[in-house]
Amino acid sequence: MARLIILGSAAALSDAAHDNTHFVLQGDHDRAVLVDCGSNPLSKLAQHGIGPDSLTDLILTHFHPDHVYGVPILLMQLWLVGRRKPLEVYGLHHCMQRFEHMLDAFMVNTWPNFFEVRIHRLAEQPDVPLLDSDDFRIRAWPTKHFIPTIGLRVEVKSSGQVFSYSGDTEPIPHIIALARDADLLLHEAAGEGAGHSSAAQAGEVATLAGARRLALVHYPVGDADTEALVAEARTTFAGPVALAKDHDVYAI
Ligand SMILES: [Zn+2]
């Protein structure tokens, strides 16, 4: 069974119990796909049985610090433990250009025998193919955020299930399209306003898309009443709603 493992669940302000939002998709065959890197993820991945050579792909949804700040230490630690396999990295041009600048800033060309990082630039268009492997078929849609950002639709080949991720976004038709009939929609709930969505808006998207289950992520933590978010989403979505927490595992 393929798994979605939540590695972080907070919006941009994290706390001791919630790292910034990122997760990994672990397939049955050939892939472990990390989506964003809002912590130093290697030890967390190890806790879930994903070793440094098992990680195959890294998707960066956008170049805001809470989504990419862990990338340099991920790359350095993969190198230090002796990785030789290439790592496939995907994102929009806006993000990949800055990712390349980050590699330059850390002078990875001075790291002896640094493994190959293969950059895949995605067109900023709806329903763009991102990855097709024995485990997953992944497509991307532009979202409405402050900078170019993507959301994802993942077909899991072993189960036939569809997992969708909103990315950071206001509610727009692209998100309904990427979540159409999804078995699980992971949707941000940072709050209503420019560039983001509330839990109630996430529920509306889930309803309009015909999603079967909704999990909220990228929500305010600290003193915020996170459980109230689930009740809020239930006002607009009749299906099961969960609050995704760090280290939660979903079968997909
Ligand atoms: Zn953002």
What pLDDT sits at residue 18? Answer: 96
249 forms bridges with which residues in the sheet? 5
In the reported structure, the alpha carbon of residue 39 is separated from the centroid of ligand 1 by a whole-number distance in angstroms of 15
In the reported structure, the alpha carbon of residue 167 is separated from the centroid of ligand 1 by a whole-number distance in angstroms of 8
In the reported structure, the alpha carbon of residue 96 is separated from the centroid of ligand 1 by a whole-number distance in angstroms of 15
In the reported structure, the alpha carbon of residue 64 is separated from the centroid of ligand 1 by a whole-number distance in angstroms of 5
In the reported structure, the alpha carbon of residue 29 is separated from the centroid of ligand 1 by a whole-number distance in angstroms of 31
What pLDDT sits at residue 30? Answer: 86
208/147 Cα distance (integer angstroms): 25
In the reported structure, the alpha carbon of residue 97 is separated from the centroid of ligand 1 by a whole-number distance in angstroms of 17
44/28 Cα distance (integer angstroms): 19
Q: Is pLDDT at 158 greater than 90 in this prediction?
A: yes
In the reported structure, the alpha carbon of residue 82 is separated from the centroid of ligand 1 by a whole-number distance in angstroms of 32
What pLDDT sits at residue 206? Answer: 98
CATH number for the segment(s) 3-251: 3.60.15.10
In the reported structure, the alpha carbon of residue 158 is separated from the centroid of ligand 1 by a whole-number distance in angstroms of 31
115/202 Cα distance (integer angstroms): 39
Q: Is pLDDT at 223 greater than 90 in this prediction?
A: no
In the reported structure, the alpha carbon of residue 146 is separated from the centroid of ligand 1 by a whole-number distance in angstroms of 7
For the chain, the structural domain boundaries read 3-251
In the reported structure, the alpha carbon of residue 157 is separated from the centroid of ligand 1 by a whole-number distance in angstroms of 29
| Edge-to-edge order in the sheet of strand 3-8 | 117-122, 87-92, 57-59, 32-35, 22-26, 3-8, 249-251
Q: Is pLDDT at 222 greater than 90 in this prediction?
A: no
In the reported structure, the alpha carbon of residue 1 is separated from the centroid of ligand 1 by a whole-number distance in angstroms of 31
- Give tens-digit pLDDT for 45-81: 999 999 999 999 999 999 999 999 999 999 999 999 9
